[in-house]
Amino acid sequence: MRATDEVVDIVSRLIRFDTSNTGRPETTVGERECAEWVAAQLEEVGYSTEYVESGMPGRGNVFARLPGADPNRGALLIHAHLDVVPAEADDWRVHPFSGAVQDGYIWGRGAVDMKDMAGMALALARQFKRDGTVPPRDLVFAFLADEEAGGTWGSHWLVDHRPDLFEGVTEAVGEVGGFSLTVDRPDGEVRRLYLVETAEKGLSWMRLTCDAQAGHGSFLAAENAVTEIASAVARIGAHQFPLVMTESVREFLAALSEETGLDFSPETPDLESALFKIGNLARIIGATLRDTANPTMLSAGYKANVIPQHAEAVIDCRVLPGRQEEFERTIDELIGPNVQREWITHLPAYETTFDGDLVDAMNAAVLAHDEKGRTVPYMLSGGTDAKAFARLGIRCFGFAPLQLPPDLDFAALFHGVDERVPVESVLFGTKVFEHFMHNC
Ligand SMILES: [Zn+2]
């Protein structure tokens, strides 16, 4: 049995575990069952696994290690989270936890985020064990809880409390990268760019508060917390941060310009809009050109004729690598002296270079299975478990290979309705991943 013989069934089976992560631990229930099933599949072929609950009952994580030829080389971590965001079944064409395989797709919540990669990793781990494969270096397979709520009860807990699980790991691959973007070349040919994630924006949620004199709504008011917060929020919401291209973005746009013959240089007027010429992926790429600070929550007051003494707001801040200090300086100017700020969540940005043996192995694996392929680095506007592993000094990449149909709006499937992944993409990805792991 080859990994490609069972990977579709495995992905479908993984989707049938409802591992919805609501963000509230008491209603997040499916992870244990799913993790135990993954462990059983690994043990069935001879792995000894470690099941670890990350700080809370039911937050199940599974680890297995396949020894490599050279124990002196650092291990490669292959990680996938098993939790998914919730889904409203009524909105879907198929039940989101059916794992239906129809019309050439595997359907369901997690199909692209990220039970596809979890399934590919599991199927390949099983094949390697059955075949007695010895990879060039140790492979550590990790199936994780709680990514969709930031990894507090998953990757971050494991890094803080069980760093031994990652002993000797120097590099890692996980989501969100390795998928193809088809572009038309000026010579009439197509090129498939495989986007390898080499960077992630920082994810920081900021609470703004203002405390001022409370008073009667009919009086002259020297202070007003609502006005202060509203002004600060309005200034932040209207502010555009400067265009700053980090190396990952610069390299990606240079490759895009080269392949399409279009101009995506930093000087392009309204570059964000111009990027939509490549399709909806522009929603992600465009968001990696600047820091952003989007007001998302606002609250104050309890009665129409009372000026409250307290008002607050929450701002979703996404900060580019190397920009944190400058970003905070700007925010302080925008909020002024009467508004205080604090981080509710603060996960720094991450960036690594697109070079070295592991990148060469990704390149070779893609080219071996797609002669029109080319790997390019890119930055993710969101966050993944890589942020946790980077804290251990692990060099992280997003590489979950998928060859996608040119017209599929891949970005829309993440957390979207009718999430699904083409069967062919998963079979292709499994072969690329196999090639990669054999040569990593
Ligand atoms: Zn994910």
Q: What is the pLDDT along the chain (440 residues), one digit of tens a residue?
A: 999 999 999 999 999 999 999 988 888 889 999 999 999 999 999 999 999 999 999 999 999 999 999 999 999 999 999 999 999 999 999 999 999 999 999 999 999 999 999 999 999 999 999 999 999 999 999 999 999 999 999 999 999 999 999 999 999 999 999 999 999 999 999 999 999 999 999 999 999 999 999 999 999 988 999 999 999 999 999 999 999 999 999 999 999 999 999 999 989 999 999 999 988 889 899 999 999 999 999 999 999 999 999 999 999 999 999 999 999 999 999 999 999 999 999 999 999 999 999 999 999 999 999 999 999 999 999 999 999 999 999 999 999 999 999 999 998 899 999 999 999 999 999 999 999 999 99
Ligand 1 midpoint to CA 53 (Å): 19
Q: What is the pTM of this model?
A: 0.94
Q: Please give the distance, rounded to the nearest whole angstrom, from the Cα atom of residue 129 to the centre of ligand 1.
A: 26
Question: 235 CA to middle of ligand 1, Å?
Answer: 32
Distance 85 CA to ligand 1 centre (A): 9
Give the CATH number of domain 3-176+383-438; options: 3.40.367.20, 3.60.15.10, 3.40.630.10, 3.90.1150.10: 3.40.630.10
Residue 133 CA to ligand 1 center (angstroms) comes to 29
CA distances from 246 to 120, 251, 320, 351, 417 (A): 31, 9, 8, 9, 32
Position 413 scores a pLDDT of 92
Residue 84 alpha carbon to ligand 1 centre in Å: 7
Q: Measured in angstroms, how far is the CA atom of residue 115 from the centroid of ligand 1?
A: 9
Q: Given this model, what pLDDT does residue 85 score?
A: 96
Measured in angstroms, how far is the CA atom of residue 338 from the centroid of ligand 1? 38
Strand order in the sheet with 101-102: 101-102, 105-107, 420-422
The CA 222 to ligand 1 mean position distance, Å, reads 48
The answer to whether 169 touches 77, Cβ cutoff 8 Å, is yes
Distance from the alpha carbon of residue 346 to the mean position of ligand 1, in angstroms: 18
What is the spatial distance between Cα 68 and Cα 82, in angstroms, rounded to a whole number?
25
What is the distance in A from the centroid of ligand 1 to the CA of 22? 14
Measure 81 CA to ligand 1 centroid, in angstroms.
7
Q: Are 121 and 141 in contact (CB under 8 A)?
A: yes
Closest by Cα among 111, 200, 127, 129 to 379 = 200
Q: How far is the centre of ligand 1, averaged over its atoms, from the C-alpha of 175 (Å)? A: 6
* Dihedral-angle region of residue 332 (phi above 0 means left; psi in -120 to 50 means alpha; beta otherwise): alpha
At 27 the pLDDT is 87
Residue 280 is predicted with a pLDDT of 86
The answer regarding whether domain 202-347 maps to CATH 3.30.70.360 reads yes
Indicate the pairing of strand 169-174 with strand 395-398: parallel
Q: Where are the domains of the chain?
A: 3-176+383-438, 202-347
Do residues 297 and 314 make contact, with C-beta atoms less than 8 angstroms apart?
Answer: yes
Burial class of residue 242, CB neighbours in 10 A (0-12, 13-18, 19+): exposed
CA of 148 to the centre of ligand 1 (A): 7
Handedness of CA 153, 179, 366, 99 (dihedral sign): positive
Rounded to the nearest whole angstrom, what is the distance from the C-alpha of residue 381 to the centroid of ligand 1?
A: 13
